[in-house]
A = this chain, B = another copy of it.
Amino acid sequence: MAANSQFSMAVHVLSMLARSKDENLKSDFIAGSVNTNAVVIRRLLGQLSQAKLVVSQTGANGGTRLARRPSEISLAEIYKAVNCGEVFALHAKEPNRDCPVGRNIEAVLCCLQKEIDKGIVEKLSTYSLQNLFEMVAENPA
């Protein structure tokens, strides 16, 4: 499959919104920067809106802006807002319950998966959208 780039796109989109301050941005304009279709952006914005990270307005002169200041949005919130799966997947088919290993391995792996995910969220929560936006701005083209 194509790899899931929702988090990357979300960070991109939110950086655009951070840059535009309180002005509404159109999905079409954002799509031009991300280099994709406006519907893809609107779908993503829908998730970010549900997570209360952005506010959208329909109608003429509509568009989207941040719901909070960039310094008050952590990358962890963005990560949780978009649907970007787990670090590794558990078994596709249930292992054999007649095997002492097969019987118990899933529970252990599930635990480990959660622990890793917690670590990721912790690391991401040390960055705000503001921090990230500054990195983008500083970065030499």
Contacts and interface: CB of A to CB of B under 8 A. Distances in A.
A91 B15 contact: no
Interface string A111-138: 1100110011001100100001001110
Contacts of A102: 12, 33-35
Contact of A35 (B32, B87, B93, B124): B93
Task: Kindly state the interface size class of chain A when it binds its partner.
Answer: 35 or more
A79 B112 CA distance: 12
Contacts of A124: 116
Given A4-B89, A6-B88, A109-B8, A34 B103 contact: no
Interface of A: 1-9, 11-12, 15-16, 19, 32-36, 75, 79, 84-96, 99-105, 107-109, 111-112, 115-116, 119-120, 123-124, 127, 132, 135-137, 139, 141
